[in-house]
Amino acid sequence: MSRALIETTNLAVNLTPRPIEPSWIIEGKPDARWCVLSQSADGLASTMVWECSAGKFNWYYDFDETVLILEGSIVLESDTLPSKRYAAGDVIFFKDGAHARWHIEDRVRKLAFCRKTQPVWLGFALRVVLKLKKIFLPSSERQPASLMGSS
Is the model more confident about 2 or about 34? 34
pLDDT in tens, 94-131: 999 999 999 999 999 999 999 988 766 776 677 777 77
Residue pair 73/108 in contact by the 8 Å Cβ criterion: yes
Of 70, 68, 8, which is closest to residue 37 (Cα–Cα)?
8
Is the model more confident about 80 or about 98? 98
- Domains of the chain (ranges plus CATH)? 16-115 (2.60.120.10)
Euclidean distance between CA atoms 12 and 134, whole angstroms: 40
Residue 151 has pLDDT above 60, yes or no: no
DSSP string, 55-105: EEEEEE-SSEEEEEEEEEEEEEE-SSS--EEEETT-EEEE-TT-EEEEEEE
